[in-house]
């Protein structure tokens, strides 16, 4: 297993993006992760109807990324893009291993609420998630989208998941434009220091212009 810090994996993703995008790196266009997978990593993308009870969102066999057929739905763009980026993330990390043989790769991405990092596989999945979020959401692109859709430099969150309606609406529109889930965007905003965390005690329940934020990846 490749060992590295979150900062190191973020740097890896940024270097790859600069190499792939060239002068387009500084543009404000959402990242086309499907084109990246096909053109840069030479991966094929297809769909398969997995058993819903197995919670498989995608898998990687050799040079193929096989997505759950349900991710082809137009309402699941964010989930689809993240799954592709996740599999690309495995590739970019594995490139650091001199013994890496792409044709022998077999990965599964399983939808899970499991957040603890206990096993080697847990860490590998975490690493791929870090790289995936960086591929999809370049810092300047996120900052531009925040200013464009929210007209502010940070979104405010009270406690763990409560936002006022204006910020919640901005988050939803940003995620839609960027082609990611709201959960993925929230994580990246937080990582970039663009979320203003305030205690729940400062939240005013009388102002009913708020929404509870319990975001699923398929939003």
Which range marks the domain in which residue 157 is found? 139-212
Of the listed ranges 70-79, 109-118, 147-156, the one predicted with least confidence: 109-118
Q: Could you tell me if 73 and 180 lie in one domain?
A: no
Alpha-carbon gap, residue 160 to 194, rounded angstroms: 15
**pLDDT at 91 (0 to 100):** 86
- On whether residue 217 sits in a domain, the answer given is no
On the question of pLDDT at 205 being above 70, the answer is yes
CA distance 219 to 76: 7
> Is the pLDDT reported for residue 57 higher than 70?
yes
Same domain? 27 vs 121: yes
In a domain, 219, yes or no: no
Confidence (pLDDT) at 60: 83
The domain that holds 97 is classified in CATH as 1.10.10
């Amino acid at each position: 297993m490749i060992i590295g810090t979150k900062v190191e994996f973020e740097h890896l993703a940024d270097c790859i993006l600069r190499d792939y995008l060239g002068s387009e790196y500084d543009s404000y266009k959402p990242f086309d992760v499907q084109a990246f997978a096909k053109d840069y990593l030479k991966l094929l993308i297809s769909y398969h109807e997995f058993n819903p009870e197995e919670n498989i969102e995608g898998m990687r066999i050799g040079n193929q990324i096989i997505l759950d057929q349900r991710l082809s739905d137009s309402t699941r763009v964010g989930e689809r893009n993240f799954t592709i980026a996740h599999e690309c993330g495995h590739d970019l990390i594995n490139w650091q291993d001199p013994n890496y043989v792409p044709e022998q790769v077999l990965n599964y991405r399983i939808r899970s609420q499991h957040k603890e990092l206990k096993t080697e596989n847990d860490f590998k999945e975490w690493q791929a998630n870090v790289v995936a979020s960086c591929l999809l959401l370049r810092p300047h692109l996120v900052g531009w989208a925040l200013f464009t859709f929210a007209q502010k430099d940070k979104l405010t969150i009270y406690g763990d998941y409560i936002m006022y309606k204006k910020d919640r609406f901005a988050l939803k529109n940003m995620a839609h434009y960027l082609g990611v889930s709201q959960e993925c965007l929230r994580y990246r905003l937080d990582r970039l220091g663009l979320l203003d965390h305030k205690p729940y005690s400062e939240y005013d329940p009388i102002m009913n212009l708020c929404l509870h934020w319990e975001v699923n990846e398929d939003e």
